[in-house]
Copies of this chain bind each other. A is one copy, B any other.
Amino acid sequence: MNELDSFDLSILKVLQEDSSIHMQALAERVNLSKTPCWRRVKKLEESGYIRKYVALLDHRKLGLSVMAYVQVSMKDHDLNTLQVFLDFVEQSPYILDCHATAGNFDYVMKVIAADTEELENFLMRELLSSGVIQSTNTNLILRQKKSTTELPVK
């Protein structure tokens, strides 16, 4: 699948807002009839434009009220140290995002926890005890103003 036309883009837009929409309603919203609309969706799934369908949960209802950005500097930058760190990141459910950034620190992570105590425990017991971290800098998130999974399509 090489290029997306405006129909494909419209479909992606709708689905990343609400994937529980029925094929019939989706078709109407993008001005197609059911069959071609369905075919396009399948194509977008197969070609990987649509990675997956997920349910988004309410973190507050789940008792996860503390979020923070944690900047991390590594002790060393050899492959082994890196791998230990990345394995840790992958495995930890508290870490929602982790990116290597240009700047003073090696990585920025977005972390979620039930409360500051759990966050503290995570940072001290789990993260630092992995042995590969030189220093961290934690910025608590005071208020979440916007958080979306919708990419700017079109």
Chain A positions near chain B (C-beta within 8 angstroms): 12, 15-20, 47-59, 61-62, 64, 67, 69, 86, 89-90, 93-103, 107-108, 112, 139-153
Q: How many copies does the complex hold?
A: 2
Kindly list chain B residues whose C-beta atoms are within 8 Å of the C-beta of A112: 151-152
Known: A16-B57, A19-B19, A151-B59. A146 touches B98 (CB 8 A): yes
- Do A19 and B57 touch (CB < 8 A)? no
Given contacts A50-B58, A90-B146, 12 further A-B contacts (CB under 8 A): A16-B55, A18-B52, A18-B54, A19-B20, A54-B149, A59-B151, A96-B148, A97-B148, A99-B141, A100-B142, A101-B141, A107-B145
Kindly list chain B residues whose C-beta atoms are within 8 Å of the C-beta of A54: 15-19, 53-54, 56, 149-150
In Å, the complex CA distance between A148 and B54 comes to 10
Kindly list chain B residues whose C-beta atoms are within 8 Å of the C-beta of A97: 146-148
- Do B53 and A49 touch (CB < 8 A)? no
A–B complex contacts, Cβ < 8 Å, 19 sampled:
A12-B55, A17-B54, A19-B54, A20-B52, A48-B58, A49-B58, A50-B55, A50-B56, A51-B56, A51-B57, A51-B58, A53-B56, A54-B56, A67-B99, A69-B101, A96-B149, A99-B145, A101-B141, A112-B152
A73 to chain B, nearest CB (A): 14
Known: A139-B101, A141-B101, A146-B98. A61 touches B89 (CB 8 A): no
